[in-house]
Structure 1
Amino acid sequence: MLGKDDQAVKGAVDTYSFEQDFAQEKIADHGHGERTGSSFGAFFNIVCVVAGTGTLQLPWCLAEGGWVALLCVFLASAIAVFTGRLLIQCLYHKEGHRLSSYPDIGMAAFGVIGKYFILVLHYSISLGGPCVYISLAGGGTHDLVKEMVGITKAMWIIIAAVLVCIPFVLIKSMKEVAILAIFGVLSTVVVVVVVVAVGFIDLPNVESTHSLVRWENLPAAMGTICFSFGGNVVYPHVESSMKNPQSWTKVLFFAVMCIMTMYLMIAISGYFVYGEQVEAIIYDSLPQNPAKVTAIALLIAHVILAAPIMLTAVALELEDSFNITVENMGAAREFMFRALLRTGMVVLLTFPAVFIPVSKLMSLIGSFSNSLLIFVMPVVLHWRLFGFRSMNIVSLCACGVCIVVGVMACICGTQQSIASLIAYFSNPEEAGASMH
């Protein structure tokens, strides 16, 4: 076993371990359905969930940290691949059996305390993220059409929740939700192209200043960049849908490289054109024209398409807990209970989206939860389940970097979020929700 783990940590998911698991036992998907999803579907699921969280903030990160912050993008990309691989390896720590979720890994490693610690962090992101998305989609639509349509912001948020709820109820598994992910990824690509093109067209009209490095703001910029690669909460469910799970590391690598490429395109162009005067959300720096409206509309489409993917990961776990399966209930009753559960989830998320500054609150929760779930816990859980000896010195050093970056991101992100909340409650009229 130690030899196999060495190979896994050096470069790829332990292919032999995967194959042995499937040869000995058709690993139960715990209500998630058969493994029939393609690697392309998994790729689009990852890109759709992850890319929307930071696409438009990266130019501001460079303005905060200077050109050196580009190195943070490469570092965060490498960490995302490394910890995403470790996390999936933890699902297969017991030969012949696959755990079903991130909290199950916590249970296997640290018992009930580990399970509920991970569960709190996991649900704060998996439920809080879609709540923010619903709020952003409704608020963004209201800002776009308020001069033409006399509907309140609260009503637009409810409409956005309905648009999220329909595919969430109708589409059962991560394999099927990949259809939404394809359109979500395409909308993000178009947003990047539009923002880059409009920015360079606006270049002659802008006077900008740039810095090589701004040491005082670099840690905060690093924290934001790291959060932009957060997707670990859905990885176990994406991998569980794959027909060829031994391809996980390859799929994850290409997905993160695609995300990194989009991030670099929009970060470099946005900072180059607008410099340190760039707004926290890059489209706020763009001139008023149809292209800017198109970018905002596509971003709204992206968050509406990404929300069902994150919610599906949680719904699968809850349906597993309540044994809501076709085998147990029959097709008609299974659909009815699944529809009730998922509709109830969206309704519960809509209330805070309408009545509280949820994006500000979730920024604080996410700063803490994301940093631990993305960078720290995969390393800690892997060490607990496989031991230090399963890794060579290079991998141990990489784990150390992950923990240091995670702790730094947690501290800096939490400080920023607290300051943002204080600013909001001090002057809520001027503090608007930002799109991630």
Structure 2
Amino acid sequence: MSSKYLIPKEKGLGIVNTAVFIVGDVSGTGILSLARAVEDTGWTGLILIVVFAIISAYTGILLGEAWIMASELFEDCKGHIQNPYQLLAQKTYDKVGRYVLSVSLHTTVFGGAVVFLLLAADNMQSLVQTLGYDLSFCFWVLILITLLLPLTWFGTPKHFWLIAYGSTLSTISTTAIILVSVGEEAPTQPKVRHHEINGEGFMLALGTIVFALGGHPNFLTLQVDMNRQKDFRKSIFLTFIIVSCLYLPVASVGYFVYGDSLDANIINNLPPGGPTYVALILITIHLLSAFVIILNPLLQEVDMVLHVPKEFTWKRCVTRSFVLICVLFVAETIPKFEYVLSLIGGSSLTILVFICPILFHMRMCKLKANAGNNVAMVTMDVQAPLDEKFEPIAPWRKVLNYEIICIGVLAGVTATVSAIINIVSPDSFSVPCYINITRAST
């Protein structure tokens, strides 16, 4: 089959641009939170970061390959698609698959946007306090959502590529500042102590690690905007090499220098001064940029469901503004980013990272094998048969795939339960902003 059907007519993203988008999507929260996650898991947390990075890259590649097969087999999977992940779920597991995928995807994207907003507000409050002003965290959430609103009116990722580059460069610069600042402060630190590892903290940390490495909700949205969709695997390789080079040094120095004094946001451990203020500004730029990127698939889905034209219209502004109001409400209700982060990482994101890519790829391999080379006979109305017995995947790969699914389910369930317990626990419960606007974040 000619590859021309897989390439949109208008110019799209290249390999590097796609990788930059993904790095800008996932890296900010990991830079800030993984050091504490390693403290909660012990030095084995560094190994877990590497293992989960490899697994995420593997499942991301499988997801991209599954979409390429779908593009070859189905007419309605060619070119630019507003909701590729959901469409792939429908082609492989019919309406049930699409429903499960949609719920997981929307929950993850929505929760991720809340996390980015809360982190950005926390950073802005800290920055302004150093200047002698005290503006409530809750007010900062409202201010930032207002500033972000016009940026969410853009159509697809290729329309705001400059945002992605700004996000990624901000993250890299912040990483450098953190490493230099911690390195300068290390000789003055007292003897490092590490707290005893407990099951609940370990599981919460797993949720944090998964969240920091789970860019899958946006993967296919970016792939369909590429010049050559088959190059997506190269973007995935480049992405996780960059992300690992950012995460491991920061998590390591934080763990070995600060130990049990680590805050959920490592920037709060840095000494006051110019470099720390610059880091706060840069990482906040990243978080706000990533907010726009990560929320885009959900916004496109809302546009499609409500039949909003693809061209820029007032209808898009209204529908997307309503979504942001919902994000604002949740952020003001649960103003503790670390709990939301662990909850999303352990629940819906686990489904999108560990389960769906593998199952969709295996099902699509069966469908392609049974379709043979006569692609022209496969139409947009064909669904993947659920009773096929042909197995085109090597046994060892099937074993590996099922092992990854089991690991994901086990880690996800335990992390989710731990996050829920912490959210509702009286000892850690945080008062919503609309009940106490001055003390909700403390």
TM-score by length of 1: 0.83
How many angstroms does 1:96 deviate by?
4.2
2:188 counterpart letter in structure 1: N
Structure 1 stretch 87-96 or stretch 239-248: which is displaced more?
Answer: 87-96
Aligned partner of 1:369 among 348, 358, 364: 348
Letter of the 1:50 counterpart: V
The root-mean-square deviation of aligned C-alpha atoms, in Å, is 2.9
1:107-146, aligned counterparts within 5 Å? 107-146=90-129
Equivalent residue runs for 1:9-28 within 5 Å: 20=1, 22-23=3-4, 25=5
| Match for residue 31 of structure 2 among 42, 47, 55 | 55
Deviations 1:103-136 (A, max 9, x none): 2222222221211111111001112211332233
Q: Which residue of 2 aligns with 1:248?
A: 232
Report the equivalent of 2:172: 189
Aligned to 2:335: 357
The aligned residue for residue 401 of structure 2 is: 399
Residue 267 in 1 paired to residue 248 in 2? Answer: no
Q: 1:37 to 1:112 in 2, by over 3 A?
A: same
- CA distance 1:79–1:115, shift in 2 (3 Å): same
Distance 1:401 1:433 in 2: 40
The residue type paired with residue 95 of structure 2 is V
The structure-2 alpha-carbon separation of the partners of 1:153 and 1:71, relative to structure 1 and needing over 3 Å to count, comes to closer
Aligned residue for 1:241, secondary structure, equals coil
Q: Is 2:288 aligned against 1:286? A: no
Provide the C-alpha distance between the structure 2 equivalents of 1:77 and 1:26, rounded to a whole number of angstroms.
28
- Whole-Å separation in 2 of the counterparts to 1:137 and 1:374: 25
Q: CA shift at 1:361, angstroms?
A: 4.6
3-state DSSP of counterpart to 1:36 = coil
Q: Where does residue 339 of structure 1 map in the other structure?
A: 317
**Consecutive unaligned residues in structure 2, runs of 5 or more:** 367-389, 433-438
Aligned length: 403
Q: How does 1:25-424 map to 2 (within 5 A)?
A: 25=5, 34-94=10-70, 95-97=72-74, 98=77, 100=81, 101-146=84-129, 148-149=132-133, 151-169=135-153, 171-209=154-192, 221-325=205-309, 334-357=312-335, 359=337, 360-361=339-340, 363-387=342-366, 389-423=391-425
> 1:393, 1:215 → 2: CA distance?
37
Are the equivalent residues in 2 in contact too, given 1:22–1:96 (CA < 8 A)?
A: no
CA distance in 2: counterparts of 1:418 and 1:318, whole angstroms: 28
Letter in 1 for 2:208: T
- 1:201-232 deviation per Cα after TM superposition (whole angstroms, max 9, x unaligned): 11112134478x96956565444322210111
1:41/1:175 contact within 8 Å kept = no
Superposed displacement of residue 35, structure 1: 4.8
Distance (whole Å) between structure 2 residues aligned to residue 250 and residue 433 of structure 1 = 41
Report how far residue 324 of structure 1 moved: 3.2
Moved more, 128-137 or 254-263: 128-137
Change in Cα spacing, 1:417 to 1:85, as seen in structure 2 (3 Å) is same
**Conservation of the 8 A alpha-carbon contact between 1:105 and 1:381:** yes
Q: Following superposition, which runs of at least 4 residues in structure 1 exceed 6 angstroms of deviation?
A: 429-434
TM-score normalised over the length of structure 2: 0.82
Distance (Å, rounded) in 1 between the aligned partners of 2:191 and 2:44: 17
**Corresponding position of 1:5:** none
Q: Is the 8 A contact 2:207 2:342 kept in 1?
A: no
Q: Is the 8 A contact 1:66 1:210 kept in 2?
A: no
Q: Is the 8 A contact 1:208 1:276 kept in 2?
A: no
In the superposition, relative to structure 1, how do residues 223 and 362 fare at CA in structure 2: closer, same or farther (>3 Å)?
A: closer
**Separation in structure 1 between the aligned mates of residue 139 and residue 68 of structure 2, nearest angstrom:** 45
Find the aligned partners of 2:21 and 2:36 in 1 and give their Cα distance. Answer: 26
Secondary structure at the residue paired with 2:313?
A: helix
Change (3 A) 1:426 1:61: closer
After the TM superposition, which of the residue ranges 298-307 and 131-140 deviates more from structure 2? 131-140
Q: For the residues of structure 1 that align with 2:6 and 2:428, how far apart are their CA atoms?
A: 57
Greater alpha carbon shift after TM alignment, 383-392 vs 103-112 = 383-392
Distance of 1:254 and 1:238 partners within structure 2? 15
Is the 8 Å Cα contact of residues 24 and 164 (structure 2) preserved in structure 1? yes
SS where residue 56 of structure 1 aligns? helix
| AA aligned opposite 2:123 | G
Query: Which AA in structure 1 matches 2:364?
Result: L
Structure 1 CA distance for aligned equivalents of residues 431 and 318 of structure 2: 37
